[in-house]
Structure 1
Amino acid sequence: MKDKELEVKEAMVAFKPTSHICQHLCAFHFYAHDLSRQVEAHHYCSKGEEDGVMFQCIIYDDDAPSAKLIGVEYIISRDTYASLDSEEQKLWHSHAYEVQSGMLYDPKGDSRADLPHMEALMTTYGKTWHTWQVDQGHKVPLGDCMVPE
């Protein structure tokens, strides 16, 4: 029994899913239903590489230790996007304009669109849900999940 308890404790401490986070990106998200609202979104992404998902990202409102977890985003390749039916494609957004405009950038490094890691993002698509509308001043996540533009 003692070995099983130790195994459980080690699994809890390992943080295996989050230990694979390899990229920090920042973006300004606008809510699809109200483009006058925007929120700073810090993405901490791990490589997916399974079933067409290139990255899976957890999104925070800041990069401080007290940051609030406000959403998730899945990032897929252009080929995977092209394989989706037209109704599903409506739920995804291109990253090309976000990178070119500077709305999606690497806060820890050079974010020019012509750099390899940023250039690669221009050929991807994202599907995002915000679970906490921090721009509304909510102390806890309230209401439905929101889809940013």
Structure 2
Amino acid sequence: MRFKTGCCIAAALSVMAGGAAVAEVKKPGPADGYAIHVLAPHQMEDGTVGGPFHHYCKPIQGGVVLQCLLFTSTAPDAALVGVEYFIEKGLARKNVPLIQWNRHFHDHEVEIATGRVQVLDVSPEEASAIAQKAAGTDGIIFELWQENAVIPDGKVTFPTSVGHVFRTK
């Protein structure tokens, strides 16, 4: 019994020591920089309203795309339930056929105008600037962990914004 206990303690100390070393030499990685916090509901594929979802976002590709991690709460152990991309309208509309856009994309200018989107954790001036930049983008949401599912089960759905408006051109 002592051997098992000693092994567990040694393993725990080894992990803790290794963790300290990692913390000292932390290099920037792709999980860094999700500093823009947005709260918004989504219109789920079945037509119901889901959320609101906490979006933690950062710019990628030189700022023409904003990449967001979606959570249902701000708890430290909150599960990642989806991903949303904010893509500059010109880029999205040039590269996504209209029928595909209407199925899976939404216009953030229309969504923001509904008043349902909140930019959190910044001054009102910063929130306004972020919302203005976001209004120039289209969004696509990938819901990876379905509501009430015990675990992610491989089903991916494409919610849109509440008040989504189909484009005709």
| Partner SS state of residue 99, structure 1 | helix
The alignment status of 1:81 with 2:98, answered yes or no, reads no
User: C-alpha root-mean-square deviation of aligned residues, in Å?
Assistant: 3.0
Match of 2:75 among 43, 60, 64: 64
Structure (1/2) with the larger helix percentage: 2
Please give the residue correspondences for 1:1-149 in structure 2 after superposition, counting only pairs within 5 Å: 13-14=26-27, 16-32=29-45, 34-50=46-62, 53-86=64-97, 87-90=99-102, 91-109=104-122, 115-134=128-147, 137-149=148-160
In the alignment, structure 1 segments of 5+ residues that lack a partner are 1-8
Q: Which shows bigger deviation, 96-105 or 60-69? A: 96-105
> Using the alignment, how far apart are the partners of 1:27 and 1:111 within structure 2?
17
> Using the alignment, how far apart are the partners of 1:48 and 1:31 within structure 2?
26
Instruction: Check the 8 A contact 2:37/2:119 in 1, yes or no.
Output: yes
Closer, same or farther: CA 85–131 of 1 in aligned 2, 3 Å: closer
> Using the alignment, how far apart are the partners of 1:85 and 1:138 within structure 2?
31
**Aligned-partner residue type, residue 38 of structure 1:** G
Identity %: 24
Could you list the runs of 4 or more consecutive aligned residues of structure 1 that deviate by over 3 angstroms after TM superposition? Answer: 12-15, 109-112
Instruction: Check the 8 A contact 1:74/1:127 in 2, yes or no.
Output: yes
Closer, same or farther: CA 96–111 of 1 in aligned 2, 3 Å: farther
In the alignment, structure 2 segments of 5+ residues that lack a partner are 1-21, 161-169
- Shift of residue 138, structure 1, vs aligned partner: 2.3
1:93-140 deviation line (CA, Å, top 9, x unaligned):
11112211122211324669x922212211211111111123xx2221
- Shift of residue 80, structure 1, vs aligned partner: 0.7
- Shift of residue 53, structure 1, vs aligned partner: 4.3
- Shift of residue 15, structure 1, vs aligned partner: 5.8
Aligned to 2:6: none
